[in-house]
């Protein structure tokens, strides 16, 4: 493969890298608000590296949302892409757009051992799906499956928008608090960065605490400092993440393993590892034993979405 470029584009930041010899090079993170569109951002990225337009023949961009047709509109920023105009402007021969969590799932195939932490021990079953789930700006859910020829298939979906699962009377009471605000309570409403603040306010309202924390970062910092209410928030967050992940395992037959990804959980990794996540993952009544032997990992890799975009591009071009 000649020199290629990969990107992982979110609502706030766009991450770009060169893809050469199956490795990432020259990773940069640009603020989407600073550029009119992806062409302008990529032009600035290439200029910083001293590369002219046309130096990159192939591009793969991981984008939040379903990708099809010529025009793609980003859901969380002002950017949009016309495939034809993009290739003409940047003198690119091939443009591949993939769902962001398809790229994230493919990134799991290139993890090093030091880029994941064991949450639940087990052995992945061959030829069975893996579940990839990650709280970030929203809640992403993807499915990874190895094909008979050794290539990888990543199935996109919108699993973050399923209903928030309720598994205890306490959770039912919290759900009622959330329902009064939202009218419909999705898993993503709680299992995301902003969801930490929503959950904190619901717990304060239910238990009669005066809310004093104003951001997800403050809640995380307070929990790490031992604040009792903030610790309850993190614990409930982890329990709900376990229930959501467990539902996906049952729905998909995900005995290939579970990967917890995204930017939220690693910020309180030790609290997560000591939480009720594993208990709630398998809290499925008569189906609880189904989870015996399914491994779960917390992913700490810095740029798994970019790595997955590279894997997607190699596979699309028939070289990986």
Let me know how many helices (H) and strands (E) the chain has, helices first: 11, 13
Query: Is there a domain that residue 107 lies in?
Result: no
Query: Is there a domain that residue 105 lies in?
Result: no
Question: Per-residue pLDDT averaged across 183-199, rounded?
Answer: 96
Q: Same domain for 117 and 248?
A: yes
146-168 pLDDT, tens digit per residue, is: 888 888 899 877 888 999 999 99
Binding residues for ATP: 7-12
pTM to 2 decimal places: 0.91
Is there a contact between 262 and 134 (Cβ–Cβ < 8 Å)? yes
Residue closest to 206 by CA, chosen among 232, 238, 235, 242? 232
Q: Same domain for 49 and 86?
A: yes
Position 146 scores a pLDDT of 87
For the CA atoms of the chain, what is the radius of gyration? 20
The contacts of residue 232 (CB under 8 Å, 6+ apart) are 203
CATH at 120: 3.40.367.20
Instruction: Give the domain extent around 165.
Output: 112-300
Q: Same domain for 139 and 75?
A: no
Question: Per-residue pLDDT averaged across 62-90, rounded?
Answer: 81
Is there a contact between 178 and 129 (Cβ–Cβ < 8 Å)? no
Binding residues: 7-12
Per-residue pLDDT band for 66 (boundaries 50, 70, 90) equals low
Q: Same domain for 124 and 38?
A: no
Question: Quick one: CA torsion of 201, 100, 82, 76, rounded to 10 degrees?
Answer: 10
Burial (0-12, 13-18, 19+ Cβ within 10 Å), 233 = buried
Q: Same domain for 78 and 199?
A: no
CATH at 65: 3.30.420.40
248 bridge partner residues? none
């Amino acid at each position: 493969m000649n020199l290629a470029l990969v990107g992982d584009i979110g609502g706030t930041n766009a991450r770009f890298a060169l893809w050469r010899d199956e490795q990432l090079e020259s990773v940069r993170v640009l603020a989407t608000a600073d550029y009119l569109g992806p062409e302008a951002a990529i032009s600035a990225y290439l200029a910083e590296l001293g590369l002219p337009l046309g130096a990159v023949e192939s591009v793969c961009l991981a984008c939040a949302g379903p990708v099809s047709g010529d025009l793609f509109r980003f859901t969380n920023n002002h950017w949009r892409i016309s495939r034809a105009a993009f290739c003409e402007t940047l003198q690119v021969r091939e443009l591949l757009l993939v769902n962001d969590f398809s790229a994230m799932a493919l990134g799991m195939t290139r993890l090093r051992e030091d880029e994941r932490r064991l949450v639940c021990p087990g052995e992945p079953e061959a030829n069975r799906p893996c579940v990839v789930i990650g709280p970030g700006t929203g809640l992403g859910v993807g499915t990874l499956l190895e094909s008979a020829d050794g290539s990888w298939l990543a199935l996109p979906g919108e699993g973050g928008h399923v209903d928030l699962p309720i598994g205890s009377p306490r959770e039912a009471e919290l759900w009622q608090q959330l329902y009064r605000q939202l009218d419909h309570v999705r898993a993503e409403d709680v299992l995301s960065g902003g969801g930490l603040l929503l959950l904190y306010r619901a717990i304060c309202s239910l238990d009669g605490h005066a809310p004093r924390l104003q951001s997800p970062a403050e809640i995380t910092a307070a929990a790490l400092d031992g604040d009792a209410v903030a610790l309850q928030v993190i614990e409930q967050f982890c329990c709900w993440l376990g229930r959501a992940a467990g539902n996906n395992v049952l729905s998909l037959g995900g005995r290939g393993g579970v990967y917890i990804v995204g930017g939220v959980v690693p910020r309180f990794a030790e609290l997560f590892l000591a939480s009720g996540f594993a208990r709630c993952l398998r809290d499925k009544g008569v189906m609880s034993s189904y989870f015996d032997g399914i491994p779960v990992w917390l992913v700490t890799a810095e740029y798994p979405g970019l790595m997955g975009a590279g894997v997607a591009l190699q596979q699309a071009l028939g070289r990986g």
